[in-house]
Structure formats: C-alpha cells, structure tokens
C-alpha cells in the first residue's frame, strides 16, 4: 500500500485517488450565478444601493417639485371641497408605515359625515358626493399625500399604507411590506389596483421589495400616470373585490381568532 497523499484502490487497476484535491467540475458549469446574485443585490431590493442612498433624495426632489407645480390645483380642490362638504378639507387617518410605525395619512375629503338615526356613519357609497367621486376617479384626492412623502412618512413608490386594524391579519411574510416606506403608488396599483384580491396585492408588494430599483420606480410612475389619465380600476371601498382586508381574511378561512386557535 502506498502512503502519503495517495491511497491504493484495487489490485490491477493501477488507479490512485489523490487526497486534498478539488472535486471535479464539468467544464462550463462553474456556476457564476452566486457572483451574479451578489452583484444584483447590490443594486436592487430593499438593501440595494438605490434603496439605501438614492430613493429618499429622489422622493424629496420630486415631492418638493410636485408641491410647487401642483399648488394651484391644491388650492382649487381645497376650495371646492370646502364648499361641497365643509370643514375640514383634509381627511386624516392613522396608517402603518415603515417598521410598522404609525403616521397620519393626508387626503382630500370625498365623503360627508352623514349618520343614521342611531348616530352611526352611513355606508361609504351613500356618503360619497359627486365631487368626491370625481376626486377619486381622477386620483386628485390623493395629492395631499405628497406632504407625507416630503415629511418622510411615505415614498412615491412602495406598498400602499393600510389601516392599523389589519396588522393582526398579516402572515409573517406579508409583514415584510413594512420593511420599506409606504408608497403613493406601487407595483400592485399598476397591476390591477382595486380589481385584484388582497393575496395578489401582497404578492406584488413583496415582489417590489425584492426587486426595487430606480428603473422600476420610473416604470411604475409612468404606468400610474397612464392609469390616472385613463381613469382605470377605480372602485369605492366595499365594491367588487375591494373589501376590507380583515373581512377578506376571515372569509377566506386563513385566519382564526385566539379562541379558535386554542
């Protein structure tokens, strides 16, 4: 038997196996994919260079420019809302943003505070005014969210900020939508907006988080502008598949309260 770095295999075969050698790899299959994946992560996704260093300055620049350019529109719409629905002009509501941190979302009012004989608010479709429907149909009601972007509560592109009461109904994977700033528009909005169900929306949100880039943001912004001009996929909350998320999750059977879990 030979000693050292060689071992005897079988008499007559004269085959020796060298130890401490690299395993054989078929030529052309060296798998450079790992390097490509690392290179891709540097530029894209929530931990990429654009997300960490470029996205916030981009938001500040565009939101500041938008406030200046759209100031006449803001003033006109505010005056119309004041005449049609009275004060306040803005609708403010707590939403969940990055890191599951609460912030107040600003929109133009689109509905009255009309109540029934019991003092409870009437359904949305009975409180929305003609002006309110027009504002929603043209997305003009969302212009004040530019203030949220400038403050740092939101980004131009990202998952839409949702109600606080929805948080207990998220899966652990869906909670990743709060790893980034909420957006004025997002991949889900240009992929169907209110015409796709909640599971699809969250899937688009996670896809955006994993692949966000400057080019992707620009593409979503342009697609959003086209949809607004075409006035496509606009629904009043409660219509079609646009049902509240907590009710959707309960009806789908994917969530049970604490009593059912025991």
Phi, psi of 93 (to 5 degrees): -150, 140
22 inside domain: no
82 inside domain: yes
| CA–CA gap between residue 208 and residue 217 (Å, rounded) | 9
112 inside domain: yes
Ranking 31-45, 49-63, 225-239 by mean pLDDT, the lowest is 31-45
**Average pLDDT of 127-148?**
93
139 inside domain: yes
43 inside domain: no
Give me the percent of the chain exceeding a pLDDT of 90: 56
257 pLDDT band, cuts 50/70/90, is low
Q: What is the pLDDT of residue 40?
A: 53
- Overall domain count for the chain: 1
Task: Tell whether the model's pLDDT for residue 48 goes beyond 80.
Answer: yes
Each residue of 178-196: pLDDT tens digit?
Answer: 999 999 999 999 987 667 8
* Domain span including residue 197: 49-255
Task: Tell whether the model's pLDDT for residue 20 goes beyond 60.
Answer: no
121 inside domain: yes
Question: Which pairs from 108-116 meet CB under 8 Å and 24+ separation?
Answer: 108/77, 108/78, 108/81, 108/135, 108/140, 108/141, 108/142, 108/143, 108/144, 109/81, 109/85, 109/141, 110/135, 110/136, 110/141, 111/85, 112/85
**Average pLDDT of 56-75?**
96
**Average pLDDT of 205-214?**
95
3-state secondary structure the chain: CCCCCEEECCCCCCCEEECCCCCCCCCCCCCCHHHHHHHHHHHCCCCCHHHHHHHHHHHHHHHHHHHHHHHHHHHHHHHHHHHHHCCCCEEEEEEECHHHCEEEEEEECCECCCECCCCCECCHHHHECHHHHHHHHCCHHHCCHHHHHHHCCEEEECCCCCEHHHHHHCCCCHHHHHHCCEEEECHHHHCCHHHCCHHHHHHHHHHHHHHCCHHHHHHHHHHHHHHHHHCCCCCCCCCCCCCCHHHHHHHHCCCCCHHHHC
Angle (nearest 5°) at CA 109 between 104 and 110: 130
| pLDDT higher at 97 or 3 | 97
86 inside domain: yes
235 inside domain: yes
């Amino acid at each position: 038997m030979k000693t050292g770095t060689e071992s005897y295999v079988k008499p007559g075969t004269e085959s020796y196996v060298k130890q401490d050698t690299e395993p054989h790899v078929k030529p052309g299959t060296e798998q450079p994919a790992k390097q490509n994946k690392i290179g891709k992560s540097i530029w894209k996704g929530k931990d990429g260079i654009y997300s960490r260093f470029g996205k916030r300055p981009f938001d500040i620049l565009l939101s500041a420019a938008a406030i200046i350019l759209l100031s006449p529109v803001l003033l006109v719409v505010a005056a119309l809302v004041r005449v049609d629905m009275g004060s306040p002009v803005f609708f403010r509501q707590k939403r969940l943003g990055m890191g599951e941190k609460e912030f107040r979302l600003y929109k133009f009012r689109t509905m009255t505070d009309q109540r029934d004989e019991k003092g409870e608010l009437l359904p949305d479709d009975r409180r929305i005014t003609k002006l309110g429907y027009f504002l929603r149909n043209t997305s003009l009601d969302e212009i004040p969210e530019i203030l949220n972007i400038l403050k740092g509560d939101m980004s131009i592109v990202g998952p839409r900020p949702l109600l606080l009461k929805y948080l207990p109904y998220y899966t652990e994977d869906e909670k990743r939508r709060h790893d980034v700033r909420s957006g004025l528009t997002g991949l889900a909005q240009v992929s169907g907006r209110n015409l796709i169900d909640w599971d699809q929306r969250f899937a688009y949100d996670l896809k955006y988080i994993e692949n966000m880039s400057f080019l992707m943001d620009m593409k979503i912004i342009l697609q959003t502008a086209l949809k607004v001009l075409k006035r496509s996929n606009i629904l009043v909350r409660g219509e079609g598949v646009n049902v509240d998320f907590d009710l959707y999750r309960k009806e789908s059977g994917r969530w049970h309260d604490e009593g059912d879990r025991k």
